[in-house]
Amino acid sequence: MQKRTDNFSKFAEKKKGAAIKEAYRQEKRRNKADARAAGEEMRARKKAKARGEEYVDPKKIVAPPRESTSTKSASSDKPASRAGRPVTAAKGPGRPASSAGRITATGSAKPAAGSYKAFKSDKGAGKTAKATYPGNPMDADKKEATTRESLIPLNKYVAHSGVCGRREAAELVKEGKVTVNGDKIFEPGYKVSQADKILVKGKPIFLQRNSVYILLNKPKDFLTTASDPQGRKTVLDLIKGATPERVYPVGRLDRNTTGVLLLTNDGELAQKLTHPSFEIKKIYEVTLDKPVTKKDLDSIVSGITLEDGFVAADSVGYADSKSKNVVGIEIHSGRNRIVRRIFEHLGYDVKALDRVMFANLTKKNVERSKWRFLNDKEVRLLKFMNKSFLRKNKSEASA
């Protein structure tokens, strides 16, 4: 009989599924709180370092002695308070005690347990505790998650403000040309929010609310820059009045190179389209001073070595069967003046260079010097990096 009693006691005391889940939740919350504390400390250290200050751990700061609560309560009928927080009276009948977010004054006059006043006071204190961490960890978790989502890296903020691309923004930060709330920040990954006051070269910037994508058929004698110190014409002069948003060109075309050019304020997309790792496909039509030999076409595909390294075109061929002076070339390299330098290396003089395709965007139905907005489908394909944009043999090379 004693054995049965022991077994029953073991069964009765065994934790049920709900209790196990709750213990797991509590452990998870504690781990999150520890991780948040570590993250906050790391950010505080970085901020202090950027300002040239010495970081002081708040936990090691010794607080001045405070007057005892018993002395305060003796001179007043009101419950004593600690650090400006309201103090709750004794818990009401049948209400569980909570150690989180509740402080009870000792030695102060308070209603007897079970009375209406005690229950009302405790009920109000419960509401206060629920809205305060750690009284309600779930509320604190939600608040922390919202804060984290609103923070973005500084170089991303600059890029999305329409100043330049992500990589150029990182360089601006490293050069000390970006300030946050009056402090120079040299770390591109420094987290900021829209509430921060951010200046680039002394001018305030703000996140762009509406993404704009413009395809331009660039003519000659226009620079692919946002501005020019010498006052020369830029591609932004051609789209003046197209949008109130501040857009900038994706990549560069030489002053005398014509054809497809994308302008946008979407810094994240601009970074993808220009980053070498994505190997975005580009097709050019090249007009030369003399016919190109078959031998030189083979050399361009097999690869040649220039002053800045090896380069090979994805494909090349005659664009016009009647004239071998005009050649079409498909290439993924984004190096400066790469197409001109390839033909100059082989002894040709480039008379005209026209980009007919960039990331599957063409100048079809767009006259020289004219522009149009991209449609929704084109934007979606760009954002998801459709395989047709990339080098043909990229997948084969990686296999």
Q: In 3-state terms, the chain is what percent helix, strand and coil (to 5)?
A: 35, 20, 45
The catalytic site residues sit at 254
Give ∠ CA 205-208-211 in degrees, rounded to 5. 150
Residue holding tokens 């991209």? 374
Q: What stretches of the chain show up as alpha helix (H) in DSSP?
A: 2-13, 17-51, 69-74, 116-130, 137-150, 154-160, 166-174, 235-238, 267-274, 294-302, 338-345, 376-383, 394-398
| Relative orientation angle of helices 17-51 and 137-150, to the nearest 10 degrees | 40
Contact 73, 108 (CB under 8 A): yes
Q: Which residues pair with 218 in a beta bridge?
A: 259
| Distance, first Cα to last Cα, the chain | 72
Distance CA 238, CA 236 (A): 5
Can you list the pairs that 121-124 forms with residues at least 24 positions away whose Cβ atoms lie under 8 Å? 121/88, 121/89, 122/88, 122/89, 122/90, 122/91, 122/92, 122/95, 123/92, 124/88
Distance CA 104, CA 101 (A): 10
Contact 300, 286 (CB under 8 A): no
Helix, strand or coil, per DSSP, at residue 328: strand
Contact 113, 91 (CB under 8 A): yes
